[in-house]
Amino acid sequence: MRNKFLGLMGILFITLACGFGTRVTQTQPELETIVASTLTAFTSAPQEAEQLTPDGVVVNTTEVSFFIPNGIANDATSSMTTDVEYPYINPSFGDMPQHVKLTLNLYALTGTQFEPHIMIFRSAEYAQYGEGNADVMSAMQSLQYVDGQPLPENLSSDFSAQIHAVNFENGHGVRYLTQVFTNFLPVNNKELFYYYQGMTNDGQYYVQAILPINAPFLPADDNPNTPLPMDGIPFNTDDFSGYLNTVAQRLDSTDTFSYTPYLEYLDAMIQSTQVIGY
């Protein structure tokens, strides 16, 4: 059974792929031009102009190409794998369908729960793995998300913030910030991540991205005794749902350039993606 992204109780066992990979970086002026135009609006504030230049590196493989803006990572390593991936908590269904996994190297954050990576599955194969994935693929195929609307249940999480439609070069999708809970613990910078689900316009490929992200008001880890930043939100076990709602509202109102890495830059990386296939 396909598990929800958020569980308030229980033990989470996640098997992540390591595998052998190929590091790939190239310069591609056309794609850099696309990303430059995507990021033009980000440079309107003069005091941030130097930080917001769209310099970076283009990653090209036989399966996909995308642009990594400076401040996110140095490059990426590409591998083909059948390892069991998030959100599955154990390999009870056996190996996953063969898929592309792109791991970002020298990422802006270290010591996070998840490694930063992008995955590409054949939609038809993903739909047949486990229970409920056919409905997930159907929801992705018909997705026309408008900001402010609730997400389809198959694509949502029990805790999410900054929900936003993000299209890529030959596809569409949606991203949000979320965290996996194994107990009643604080939302924190070790475990918060940017989660993206997308599909190519022809319906052939399903794209996922898991990218750790930090917010300035969150504690460093899930220890309830970890000191909070001055503007942090006190952890409240007596009203856990209320606590989560308060944190989600603060995340929603936090400026996109106050996150590490910049939320706008993560979006720009996804927007620049061109899935070629395999």
Q: What is the pLDDT of residues 10-58, one digit of tens each?
A: 333 333 333 445 555 554 445 554 444 544 444 444 444 344 446 999 9
CA 118 to chain CA centroid, Å, is 8
Least confident segment among 38-52, 83-97, 107-121, 186-200: 38-52
At 138 the three-state DSSP class reads helix
Report yes or no on 5 lying in a domain.
Answer: no
- The answer on pLDDT for 1 being more than 50 is no
Report yes or no on 4 lying in a domain.
Answer: no
- The answer on pLDDT for 87 being more than 60 is yes
pLDDT at 244: 97
**Sheet-wide strand order for 22-24:** 22-24, 75-81, 99-105, 117-122, 205-212, 193-200, 171-178, 161-165
For residues 262 and 3, which has the higher predicted lDDT (pLDDT)?
A: 262
pLDDT at 28: 47
pLDDT at 30: 52
Report yes or no on 9 lying in a domain.
Answer: no
Residue range of the domain that includes 222: 22-275
Alpha helices in the chain (DSSP H): 29-39, 123-127, 133-142, 240-253, 263-271
Number of domain units in the chain: 1
Cis omega before residue 227 (within 30°)?
Answer: no
pLDDT digits (tens, 9 = 90+) for 201-244: 999 999 999 999 999 999 999 999 999 999 999 999 999 999 99
C-alpha distances (whole Å) from 158 to each of 151, 153, 176 are 11, 10, 12
Let me know: does 72 contact 107? Beta carbons within 8 Å.
yes
Report yes or no on 16 lying in a domain.
Answer: no
pLDDT digits (tens, 9 = 90+) for 45-58: 444 434 444 699 99
- The answer on pLDDT for 195 being more than 60 is yes
Report yes or no on 17 lying in a domain.
Answer: no
pLDDT at 24: 56
pLDDT digits (tens, 9 = 90+) for 131-178: 889 999 999 999 999 998 888 888 988 899 999 999 999 999 999 999
206 vs 54: CA distance, rounded Å: 27
C-alpha distances (whole Å) from 170 to each of 37, 149, 210, 231 are 17, 23, 20, 41
pLDDT bin (cut points 50, 70, 90) of residue 89 is low
Report yes or no on 3 lying in a domain.
Answer: no
Alpha helices in 24-95 (DSSP H): 29-39
Report yes or no on 212 lying in a domain.
Answer: yes
For the purposes of burial, counting CB atoms within 10 Å of the CB of 227, is it exposed (0-12), middle (13-18) or buried (19 or more)? exposed
